[in-house]
Structure 1
Amino acid sequence: MLPSIELQLINKKVKPTAMRLLVLEILYKDRNAVSLSDLVSKFERAEKSTLFRTLKTFEEKKIIHRIDDGTGSVKYALCADDCDDMHEDEHIHFVCTVCKNTICLNNIKIPSINLPNNFKLNDLQIIAKGICDKCNS
């Protein structure tokens, strides 16, 4: 297990239980966004509710962010190390139409949106779809 994973949980004031460490390790190793059902298939003996609570805790503590990529299943990916209380992951997400992976494109920022007066933006996500570099090789 990666030594910094436990320290990251401790720094975010999250008790580093075995399941939390395993879920975070999957997110670090895979680097693709994962859904609850992805985790259930990886941890056949774990309770679905435990995995769901783990994801919710990570989201509340700004360790991961939620992605609605249009597939009908919410996905979760790691936040940037400097994610703060604003919890703004203002980058584009890419969905590969071949392998179906959802990938954070952290270096491609979402442009600012100027809304009309009296409009309040709660969430903005840009999803790009195409073929990822692995499938395109």
Structure 2
Amino acid sequence: MSNSYIQLLEERDIKATAIRILVLKAMFEFNRAFNLPDLEIKLDTVDKSSISRTIHLFHEHQLIHSFDDGSGSIKYSICSRDCHCSMEDLHAHFYCNYCKKAFCLKNISVPKFELSPIMQVESVNLVIKGYCGQCSKFAT
């Protein structure tokens, strides 16, 4: 299994180190989008600054993408192999108001916008909020 993580890192021109493989493996264990504190809890023996630097590197090399779900915490998700984080790759996200988890909705593309020729899009954030149907809506 470690070889597939190494291959994925190498496909994005990221040198495979023990920490990077460990962080990537932890990211794959989430069935939803995750934030920095999620990874810090999962990897409690790893230095927090190492995790933060690794996230930044993965984001820079488009191995993961980030989005603001409105919760005040940036969420991350692993990109598909054919993703290059271009406008064509952008998709919607869902945020559960009850369990506070966010999920990628890769089957819902972000619409294209007709803007003034002098305007340049740098990011688009489409978040749908509601009840995920998987959590106990009234537990807190």
Tell me, yes or no, whether TM beats 0.5. yes
Unaligned runs of 5+ in 1: none
Aligned to 1:110: 110
- RMSD value over aligned CA atoms? 2.1
CA contact 2:93–2:104 (8 Å) conserved in 1: yes
Deviation per CA, 1:56-113: give whole Å up to 9, x if none. Answer: 1101111001111111111111112102374864100101112211111001101111
Moved over 4 A (4+): none
The number of residue pairs the alignment matches comes to 137
Matched position secondary structure for 1:105: strand
Unaligned runs of 5+ in 2: none
Structure 1 vs Structure 2: percent identity of aligned residues? 37
Aligned in 2, Cα 1:87/1:39: closer, same or farther, shift over 3 Å? farther
TM-score, normalization: structure 1? 0.88
Aligned to 2:100: 100
Q: Does 1:62 align with 2:57?
A: no
Aligned to 1:13: 13
Deviation per CA, 1:5-44: give whole Å up to 9, x if none. Answer: 2210122221222221122112222131111111111122
Q: Does 1:81 align with 2:87?
A: no
CA contact 2:26–2:43 (8 Å) conserved in 1: no
